[in-house]
Amino acid sequence: MYNILIVKYGEIGVKGKNRYLFENKLIKNVKNMLKPLGEFKVYKEFGRIYVDLEDYDYEEVAEEVRKVFGIVGVCPAIRAEKDYTKLKELALEVLEEKIDAGAKSFKVESKRGDKSFKFTSQEMSRDIAGYLVSQVKDKIAVDIRNPEVRIRCEYRENHVMVYSDTIPGYGGLPLGTNGRAMSLLSGGIDSPVASWMVAKRGMELECIHFHSYPFTSEKSQEKVRDLGKILAKYCGRVRLHKVNMLEIQKAIGLNCKDEEMTIISRRFMMRIAQAVAEKRHCDALVTGESIGQVASQTIQGLTCTNASVSIPVFRPLIAMDKTEIVDIAQKIGTFETSILPEEDCCTVFAPKKPVTKPRLERIEKSENALDVEKLIQDAIDNIEVEDLEF
- Per the annotation, where are the binding residues? 184-185, 209-210, 266, 288, 297
- Global pTM? 0.91
Give the model's pLDDT for residue 348: 60
pLDDT by residue for the chain (390 residues), tens only, comes to 999 999 999 888 888 888 899 999 999 999 999 999 999 999 998 778 999 998 899 999 999 999 999 999 999 999 999 999 999 999 999 999 999 999 999 999 999 999 999 999 999 999 999 999 999 999 999 999 999 999 999 999 999 999 999 999 999 999 999 999 999 999 999 999 999 999 999 999 999 999 998 888 889 999 999 999 999 999 999 999 999 999 999 999 999 999 999 999 999 999 999 999 999 999 999 999 999 888 789 999 999 999 999 999 999 999 999 999 999 999 999 999 999 987 776 666 677 788 889 999 999 999 999 999 999 999 999 999 999 998
> What are the tens digits of pLDDT across the range 202-230?
999 999 999 998 888 889 999 999 999 99
- Per the annotation, where are the binding residues for ATP? 184-185, 209-210, 266, 288, 297
Give the model's pLDDT for residue 346: 62
Burial bucket for residue 153 (CB in 10 Å: 0-12, 13-18, 19+): buried
Give the model's pLDDT for residue 13: 81
Give the model's pLDDT for residue 347: 63
Give the model's pLDDT for residue 293: 86
Q: What are phi and psi of 137, to 5 degrees?
A: 60, -125
Domains observed in the chain: 4-168 (3.30.2130.30), 180-388 (3.40.50.620)
Name, in order, each residue with C-beta under 8 angstroms of 203's C-beta and a sequence gap of 6 or more.
175, 178, 179, 180, 181, 284
CA neighbor of 181 nearest in space, from 204, 209, 210, 201: 204
Name, in order, each residue with C-beta under 8 angstroms of 102's C-beta and a sequence gap of 6 or more.
none
Give the model's pLDDT for residue 216: 84
Could you give the CA distance from residue 369 to residue 365 in angstroms, rounded to a whole number?
Answer: 8
CA neighbor of 2 nearest in space, from 144, 185, 161: 161
